[in-house]
């Protein structure tokens, strides 16, 4: 696990080393163990290393035998030994035992076809000195990030955006469209970022770049759902157990100790029960049992048995570290659980370098409660859509409550009402909130390409596919990478494996989500290794008491100060912000998630732009 930064333009020669070191120093947290650089008259690359595999021989940038290819790589290739044997049989000579070298020789042998042979999490760039060209790729699910930008005729690439801010000539300017999208999704969706001109390489994509042919991006992999309806639950349970064990063993490959995160939920519990690690790590809050999973984790750890390390996060710790969290995130993320993840990573990093975690199980196996919505009162959907739409419009004028909300939501098509697990501000709400709305696409337009890819699937599968491509990438995996790397910790996700996705995509919807529970088949597999207290437990996520804190004077006043700031006045109608906050504090509405979304942006903006004149007119 590491970080890299580089630039390519074919003419820059002066000051390369100083610029490169500044860019790479900005991401030192990703790799405190080592640093190295390479530069010629075309390309400059810098690398920070967190040593996990081949501790003495895996240094980067790494070169092939004749040094015409140079690699920088962040991640792990879990099947590298198998691919290595194939390449040796084809005549390639290896000088290290690292998984990194497999990418170099694999690219020599297979070109972009190498990606089809890999199993792992990765973001890497290979510089071809002879062709004066770059080849870069991001893993199947988007576990590891890869950003790029153009500054004049110079192409920048790297693991984090903050490296680009150190490059001479890079103009730091807010992307107003990203803010508008963020207000709906609570994260930055799609390829654009909050920094104008900086883009993300999408999961399952690779790029090529050369001065002559320019930049090209292609998708090489996509998750697929093709259910096999004639198999029994026992068949799927057996298959999950077998394939998951194989994935866990692959994800444990390391030359250093591996531990595991552990909450009260089935996902992390299944990982911990299957991995046979020595240490587990848990955090909670001192706001009652609803927000504290440490007792569950401690009890299961005693049953396994393993040693559990836990931390209870105070409100002051949470609020005080929040600006640091947003700094490491690169872009604002209004998911409060990111702060909890920061603390559990910090706790684990005091004991080891690598942890396993349960991310991805909900999206792959159908774990979110919202996935049950299309199955509830299914008869209502048989009413002609025009009638449901009219009823929904009428219901929207009534005070919000459970029955009314049902009529409003079911008066919309799935593609309009479900944009992922978070839907903060509707298009009309965000435009009313912003002083200078942009031409940003509507939420429905943002998600349409993914719905179009599964137009022939059932509603639950459509929701899962959308979350796999958007919510999981923009929220779940963003915070997993950035919070672990902020603490120089490698986080591995055994559920996010190509073989597990291939299996899960064959499981019928009724064994994923049904009237009895979510993740039905996965829970059946988990029940073979843990008591029902864990295998059947309702999903909580990482519960954080922001709803409670925002009703307390001390924290409500912090948010109010932010809502009255110069930055807030620049971007928003502050009277509307203050009403959201006041209505929440006084119990007239639960606006906690909307309030937190705006507050998060303002904290992030203060971190990256606060010491400068206001920029980024919308």
The pair of three-digit structure tokens given for residue 486, joined into one six-digit string: 């902020």
| Residues paired with residue 338 on neighbouring β-strands, in sequence order | none
Contact 364, 481 (CB under 8 A): no
Give the C-alpha separation, 322 to 318, whole Å. Answer: 6
From CA 188, how far away is CA 503, in angstroms rounded?
A: 30
Residue that has been written with the tokens 């919505």 in this structure: 373
Tokens coding 355 = 């942890």
Specify the 3-state DSSP secondary structure of 70.
Answer: strand
- Which residues are annotated as catalytic? 2
Task: Report d(CA 521, CA 236) in Å as an integer.
Answer: 7
d(CA 250, CA 64): 26
Which positions ≥6 away from 313 have C-beta within 8 Å? 283, 284, 285, 286, 339, 340, 343
Cis link prior to 61 (omega < 30° from 0)? yes
Longest dimension (CA), the chain: 72
Cα separation, 603 vs 592, whole angstroms:
16
Q: What residues contact residue 507 under an 8 Å CB cut-off, 6+ apart?
A: 227, 228, 236, 365, 521
Instruction: Check: CB of residue 140 under 8 Å from CB of residue 78.
Output: no
| Rounded CA separation 457/512 (Å) | 14
Long-range contact pairs involving 192-198 (C-beta distance under 8 Å, separation at least 24): 193/147, 193/161, 193/330, 193/331, 194/331, 194/332, 194/604, 195/149, 195/161, 195/164, 196/171, 196/616, 197/149, 197/150, 197/151, 197/171, 197/173, 198/147, 198/148, 198/149, 198/161, 198/164
Residue 285, classified by CB atoms within 10 Å of its CB into exposed (0-12), middle (13-18) or buried (19+), is buried
| Residue in this structure with the two tokens 């479900």, named with its chain if needed | 418
Q: From CA 568, how far away is CA 591, in angstroms rounded?
A: 18
| Cα–Cα dist 430/428, whole Å | 6
Nearest CA among 475, 552, 461 for reference residue 511: 461
The answer to whether the beta carbons of residues 572 and 559 sit under 8 Å apart is no
Do the beta carbons of residue 174 and residue 609 sit within 8 Å? Answer: yes
* CA 579 vs CA 401, 448, 576, 589, 604: distances in Å: 20, 33, 5, 10, 22
DSSP state of 398: S
Strand 279-285 and strand 307-313: the pairing is parallel
State the number of CA atoms in the 13 A half-sphere of 204 facing the CB.
15
């Amino acid at each position: 696990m590491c970080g890299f930064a580089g630039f390519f333009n074919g003419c820059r020669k002066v000051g390369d080393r100083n610029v490169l070191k500044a860019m790479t120093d900005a991401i030192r947290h990703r790799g405190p163990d080592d640093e190295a650089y390479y530069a010629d008259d075309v390309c400059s690359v810098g690398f920070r290393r967190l040593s996990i595999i081949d501790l003495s021989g895996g240094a980067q940038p790494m070169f092939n035998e004749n040094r015409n290819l140079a690699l920088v790589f962040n991640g792990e290739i879990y099947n590298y030994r198998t691919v290595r044997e194939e390449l040796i049989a084809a005549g390639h000579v290896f000088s290290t035992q690292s998984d990194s070298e497999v990418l170099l020789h694999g690219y020599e042998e297979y070109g972009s076809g190498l990606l089809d042979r890999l199993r792992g999490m990765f973001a890497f760039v290979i510089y071809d000195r002879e062709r004066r060209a770059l080849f870069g790729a991001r893993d199947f699910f988007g576990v590891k990030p890869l950003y790029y930008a153009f500054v004049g005729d110079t192409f920048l690439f790297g693991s984090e955006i903050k490296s680009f801010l150190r490059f001479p000539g890079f103009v730091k300017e807010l992307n107003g469209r990203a803010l508008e999208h963020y207000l709906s999704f609570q994260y930055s969706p799609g390829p654009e970022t909050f920094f104008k001109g900086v883009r993300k390489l999408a999961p399952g994509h690779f790029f090529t770049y050369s001065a002559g042919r320019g930049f090209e991006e292609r998708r090489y992999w996509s998750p697929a759902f093709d259910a096999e309806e004639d198999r029994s639950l026992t068949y799927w349970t057996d298959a999950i157990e077998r394939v998951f064990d194989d994935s866990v063993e692959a994800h444990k490959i390391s030359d250093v100790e591996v531990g595991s995160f552990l909450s009260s939920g089935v996902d992390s519990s299944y990982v911990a029960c299957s991995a046979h690690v020595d240490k587990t790590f848990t955090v909670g809050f001192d706001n009652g049992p609803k927000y504290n999973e440490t007792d569950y984790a401690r009890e299961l750890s005693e049953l396994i048995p393993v040693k559990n390390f836990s931390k209870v996060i105070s409100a002051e710790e949470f609020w005080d570290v929040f600006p640091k969290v947003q700094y490491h995130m690169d872009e604002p993320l209004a998911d409060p659980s990111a702060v909890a993840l920061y603390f559990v990573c910090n706790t684990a990093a005091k004991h080891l370098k690598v942890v396993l975690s349960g991310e991805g199980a909900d999206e792959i196996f159908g774990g979110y409660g919202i996935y049950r919505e299309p199955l509830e009162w299914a008869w209502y959907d048989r009413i002609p859509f025009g009638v449901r739409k009219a009823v929904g419009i009428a219901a929207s004028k009534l005070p919000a409550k459970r029955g009314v909300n049902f009529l409003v939501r079911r008066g919309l098509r799935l593609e309009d009402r479900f944009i992922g697990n978070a839907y903060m501000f509707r298009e009309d709400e965000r435009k009313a909130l912003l002083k200078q709305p942009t031409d940003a696409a509507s939420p429905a337009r943002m998600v349409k390409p993914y719905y179009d890819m599964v137009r022939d699937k059932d509603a639950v599968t459509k929701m899962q596919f959308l979350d796999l491509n958007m919510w999981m990438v923009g929220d779940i995996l963003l915070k997993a990478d950035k919070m672990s790397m902020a603490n120089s910790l490698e986080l591995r996700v055994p559920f996010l494996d190509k073989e597990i996705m291939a299996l899960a995509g064959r499981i019928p919807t009724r064994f994923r989500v049904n009237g009895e529970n979510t993740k039905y088949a996965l829970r059946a597999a988990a029940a073979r290794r843990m008591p029902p207290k864990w295998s059947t437990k309702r999903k909580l996520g990482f519960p954080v008491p922001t709803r409670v804190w925002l009703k307390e004077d001390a924290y409500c006043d912090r948010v109010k100060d932010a809502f009255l700031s110069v930055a807030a006045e620049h971007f928003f109608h502050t009277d509307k912000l203050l009403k959201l906050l006041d209505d929440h504090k006084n119990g007239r509405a639960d606006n906690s998630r909307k309030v937190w979304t705006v507050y998060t942006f303002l904290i992030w903006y203060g971190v990256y732009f606060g010491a400068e004149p206001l920029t980024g007119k919308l």
